[in-house]
Amino acid sequence: MSAVAELRLSPAHQAWLAENLLRGSPADALVPLLVGQGVPEALARAEAEAMLRSPVFVGARRVLREGRQHTQVVGLKRAVAREACPAPVVERRPLPSADEFFARYYGPGVPAVFEGAAASWPAVGKWTPAWFAEHYGAVEIEYVAGREADPLYDRHTPQLSHTGRLDAYLALLEAAGETNDLYFVANNHNLERPAFDALWDDLCWPEGILNPTRRQKTASLWIGPAGTVTPLHHDTCNVFFVQIHGRKRFHFAPPTETDLLADAQAMYAGADPEHPERTPGLSIPYARADVGPGDVLFIPVGWWHHVRALDTSISVALAGFTRPNWFDWYRPGSVK
Ligand SMILES: O=C(O)CCC(=O)C(=O)O
């Protein structure tokens, strides 16, 4: 047996070699790089050849091919979308009929602001922080505080949650001014508390679009000061986002902007649309959409969105559509 055959590449060099061979670099280009790292040439070449023949590598290459085909399809869609619309916009219009909504927005996954679609709902004009304090002040709720000190605050909602009376939270909100430190967020499931049952009477279920019997566990309430920021993420279902009080600003990017996946963790992207300079390698053409009281925003599943409250804000997110809306598999940031 030759001396070379007894030697092995270090695990780190093997992983590097495997990754680059799988990415399509020829062995002839990789061997000199290993040699430059002090690996004997005969060993580098023998390992590369053995790796290319190994059944594990052959299987991995087949799996990788499937991934490449999908990437190619998505990449083409992205290229066409960017070419056709270099500065994307979110359409603004009145609420369409149910048939048009599902055909033009829900099915193809197109976000839209339906201006004034909820303007006649009893909640709009009635729900304000002062009204909540007066009617529901004594209700125990959960809210999040200490967000400013935790860069991963949205992911750490359970750890940052506090329990208290709603009027105490609203007093904190008023005293805080513009801040991202505290928020009454969807994950607290406050809307499911029996004490809030009467709130449902102030919401509506647009005919054929939302199903009122699907309200359990599909609706959430957000109450926060100006300055709250929900970082760039995607949801695992379609959302009918109803702005009740104050204004919010959304930045959107389609699921085909796959560069956002590179640093994604679960449903969160690493990028910040308000600070593109922090991710210099990324160039994402975000669409911006502001919503005010009575506007409804349709957020299609998988669309990246970043949300800033421009004022003290109250919103309701509804996901109980009349069509299937369970896409729990869609968490590309979690793919190993
Ligand atoms: O309003 C917010 O802060 C976040 C809303 C949101 O991201 C959602 O409903 O998916």
Residue 188 is predicted with a pLDDT of 66
Give the distance (Å) from ligand 1 centre to CA of residue 319: 12
CB atoms within 10 A of CB 151: 10
**144 close to ligand 1 (CB < 6 Angstrom):** no
Give the distance (Å) from ligand 1 centre to CA of residue 178: 18
**In the chain, which residue ranges form alpha helices assigned H by DSSP?**
3-6, 11-22, 27-36, 41-53, 55-84, 98-101, 129-136, 157-160, 166-176
**307 close to ligand 1 (CB < 6 Angstrom):** yes
Q: Looking at the DSSP assignment, which residues form a beta bridge with residue 321?
A: 210
59-76 pLDDT, tens digit each: 999 999 988 898 899 999
Mean pLDDT for all residues in the chain: 92
How far, in Å, CA of 321 to CA of 213, rounded?
Answer: 10
The residue among 257, 250, 238 whose CA lies nearest residue 287 is 250
190-223 pLDDT, tens digit each: 888 899 999 999 999 999 999 999 887 888 999 9
Residue 169 corresponds to which amino acid? Y
> Can you tell me whether residue 159 is helix, strand or coil?
helix
For residue 1, pLDDT beyond 50: no
- Look at ligand 1, atom 8, and give the residue with the nearest C-alpha: 317
DSSP for residue 132: H
Measured from the Cα of 229, ligand 1's closest atom is 3
How far, in Å, CA of 317 to CA of 333, rounded?
Answer: 23
> Which of 218, 223, 305, 327 is the pocket-test mutation for ligand 1 (most atoms within 8 Å of CB)?
305
Measured from the Cα of 315, ligand 1's closest atom is 1
214-266 pLDDT, tens digit each: 887 888 999 999 999 999 999 989 999 999 999 999 999 999 998 998 888 88
> Which of 241, 247, 274 is the pocket-test mutation for ligand 1 (most atoms within 8 Å of CB)?
241
How far, in Å, CA of 313 to CA of 184, rounded?
Answer: 10
- Look at ligand 1, atom 10, and give the residue with the nearest C-alpha: 235
**317 close to ligand 1 (CB < 6 Angstrom):** yes
| Lowest mean pLDDT, pick from 2-6, 249-253, 318-322 | 2-6
69: left (phi over 0), alpha (psi -120 to 50) or beta: alpha
Give the distance (Å) from ligand 1 centre to CA of residue 307: 6
Stretch 103-108: mean pLDDT: 97
Q: Which token pair is 99?
A: 């048939």
**238 close to ligand 1 (CB < 6 Angstrom):** no
Task: Give pTM, 2 decimals.
Answer: 0.86
**230 close to ligand 1 (CB < 6 Angstrom):** yes
Strands 248-253 and 304-309: antiparallel
Q: Looking at the DSSP assignment, which residues form a beta bridge with residue 315?
A: 222, 243
Architecture of domain 90-318: Sandwich (2.60)
Give the distance (Å) from ligand 1 centre to CA of residue 83: 29
**279 close to ligand 1 (CB < 6 Angstrom):** no
Q: 305, 252 in Cβ contact below 8 A?
A: yes
**235 close to ligand 1 (CB < 6 Angstrom):** yes
Residue 191 is predicted with a pLDDT of 84
How far, in Å, CA of 329 to CA of 19, rounded?
Answer: 27
Q: What is the DSSP string of 205-272?
A: --TTTB-GGG-TTTEEEEEE-TT-EEEEE--SS-EEEEEEES-EEEEEE-TT-GGGGTT-BBTB-S--
- Look at ligand 1, atom 9, and give the residue with the nearest C-alpha: 317
Side by side, which strands form the sheet with 219-224?
Answer: 91-93, 112-114, 296-299, 239-245, 313-318, 219-224
Measured from the Cα of 317, ligand 1's closest atom is 9
